[in-house]
Amino acid sequence: MPEAEFEALRRSAPAHVTVERARPDFRALLSGAELSVSQAGYNTVVDLLRCGVRSVLVPFEAGHETEQRLRAERLKALGLAAIVPEAELSPERLVEAIRQELPHASYQSPSISLDGARRSVAVAEDLALARPALHRTIDWSPLDQALDRARDRSCPVGFWWRDDDAVAATPQLDRLLALAGRFDAGIALAVIPQALETSLIRRMADEDRAFALVHGWSHANHAPAGQKKAEFGAHRPREIMTLEAEQGLHRARERLGPKLLPVFVPPWNRISADVIAPLPSLGFTALSTFGDRETAFAAPGLTRINTHIDPIDWHGTRSLVEPEELVAGIAGAVERRVAGKADPNEPIGFLTHHLVHDEVIWSLCERLMAHLADREIYFLRPDELLRNGNRITVAI
């Protein structure tokens, strides 16, 4: 701040307010405060956590900035801060927030790791150790041969992308959407309605090719011990599951508006037949699970659009499956459509889980998209896919 402006501000301050420039003992001052009023920059938030002081935060949000708002929302969720949105900032609004927070100024240490330096070193070491896997040569020829046969036999093959378990804007989600944007890929985010956060709604607003699907209700496992996980399995009353599916659609549609497509994605891709039948009457137009569909419609008025390829070794390393196995799986999905063993009108679904990807999985996703893009094959927009019903027309 220019000196003249600083002096003018200091002279205009009331008697009980001290105006001064940054001080080297700021943390010591902050530690003695009952309440801090600030924005939510990285250093500020670290200082607040280390000094153990509650805060009223006015995160910087001009130009569609989301970084400070995301930090502020996390502190608010932990009960450590109140938020005054920049668009609502006024003297009266700020004073009211301060008045509301002062009675709650006692501070409880959050369960947040503050050893970021050591963690950064560990991440760097992991990346170094993963380098051979990141740069491993992938033989795409089985997939290329399958695609060539599909082209020669005029069999249209499309690809679509579903990513599960989205609830909030996160660095992983930013990376996912940036990757989709690089390759003009449509992407369907299966969001968990009960846990849906405002940050996800704002993050999706400007993403033209990204849409949301309804991922169950709370993603809670209700299966008996020893059985495969399921939220909408046969072991629960149909009435309760139907109600939760309806609540999921209502909540997601209310919060996401036109970004929500009425597609039901049961957690763990498992759903009781008793729950499928009433889905159209609840407002759903499609169902998405895993594996080749036997029929184009799961029920009257309910298109089935499944996923078929999952790059994660869930029952082993929880990292990338063997690349040869993955390529063979994609090629096999193409070959089944060419041979008439699978519905050629169902696009091949690529299933990811951005919140648990390691660098090897991210690398594979990027390399697969780049390889398909070289053949001018792009992941379909989910809204257009649904608009076309159960048929695809894709040139390869």
Give the 3-state DSSP-derived string for 179-190, with helices as H, strands as E and coil as C.
HHHHCCCCEEEE
Per-residue pLDDT, 389: 55
Per-residue pLDDT, 65: 85
Q: For the sheet containing 55-57, what is the strand order?
A: 36-38, 55-57, 81-83
pTM: 0.70
* Pair 176, 214: CB distance under 8 Å: no
Listed in sequence order, the residues at least 6 apart from 95 whose beta carbon sits closer than 8 Å to its beta carbon are none
Per-residue pLDDT, 107: 63
Per-residue pLDDT, 395: 37
Counting Cβ atoms within 10 Å, is residue 24 exposed (0-12), middle (13-18) or buried (19+)?
Answer: exposed
Tens of each residue's pLDDT in the chain, 396 residues:
899 999 999 999 999 999 999 888 999 999 899 999 999 999 999 999 888 889 999 999 888 788 999 999 988 988 889 999 999 999 999 999 999 998 876 666 666 777 778 888 887 877 776 666 667 789 999 999 999 999 999 998 999 999 999 999 999 999 999 999 999 999 999 999 999 999 999 999 889 999 999 999 999 999 999 899 999 998 899 999 999 999 999 999 999 999 999 999 999 999 999 999 999 999 999 999 999 999 999 999 999 999 999 999 999 999 999 999 999 999 999 999 999 999 999 999 999 999 999 999 999 999 999 999 999 999 999 999 887 654 544 433
Per-residue pLDDT, 115: 74
Per-residue pLDDT, 393: 42
Per-residue pLDDT, 267: 97
Per-residue pLDDT, 110: 67
Listed in sequence order, the residues at least 6 apart from 267 whose beta carbon sits closer than 8 Å to its beta carbon are 164, 215, 216, 219, 221, 229, 230, 231, 232
Is 297 strand, coil or helix? strand
- Report helix angle 359-374 to 171-182, nearest 10: 20
Per-residue pLDDT, 40: 95
